[in-house]
Amino acid sequence: MKRISSIFTVSLLVLILGLTGCGLQKTGTQKVRDLDYTVVTEQELPEELQKEIDERYTEDFKMTCMLDDSLYIVRGFGMQETGGYSIQVQDLYLAQNAIYFEADLIGPENGAEAEKAVSYPYIVVKTERLEENVVFE
């Protein structure tokens, strides 16, 4: 009798949870909107930001900087054995909980003569100033 009562209680609990719509859902990562951005050249970098990059560029790094009405997002890939690398922005968007940024390092093309010198590729993008945290993917 006790066993039947336990089974009934568990079944009732499962039914109630099912009817109330309980479920797992990722919160906050859903895209609200894409963010417009521009890639900033070394010549266009604010001096303050350039100093911060100069302190970090030899290592893999991620940083943000808010200046005036702009948010700068920086992604550096550290020392690479050769030149010929490029960086491609895959995504930059505002979600409910944060700003999401993804950039990929693209190696030298197959068959291309890669520069024999060490390189330190990084990218700086400038977007509207928002107070949300930046998540690097």
Average pLDDT for residues 94-109, to the nearest whole number?
Answer: 95
Over the stretch 36-61, which tens digit does the pLDDT of each residue have?
999 999 999 999 999 999 999 999 99
pLDDT at 6 over 70: no
Task: Note the pLDDT of residue 7.
Answer: 58
Decide if 58 contacts 83 (C-beta within 8 A).
no
* d(C-alpha 124, C-alpha 76), whole Å: 9
Over the stretch 76-85, which tens digit does the pLDDT of each residue have?
999 999 999 9
pTM, to two decimals = 0.78
* d(C-alpha 55, C-alpha 61), whole Å: 10
Confidence of residue 17 (pLDDT cuts 50, 70, 90): very low
Residue 136: name the closest of 107, 105, 98 by CA. Answer: 98
- The three-state secondary structure class of 15 is helix
Q: Which two tokens stand for residue 27?
A: 């919160």
Task: Note the pLDDT of residue 15.
Answer: 47
Lowest mean pLDDT among 17-21, 104-108, 121-125: 17-21
Q: Which two tokens stand for residue 120?
A: 């330190």
pLDDT at 117 over 80: yes
Higher pLDDT, 23 or 128: 128
Give me the chain's average pLDDT, please: 86
Percent of the chain beyond pLDDT 90?
Answer: 72
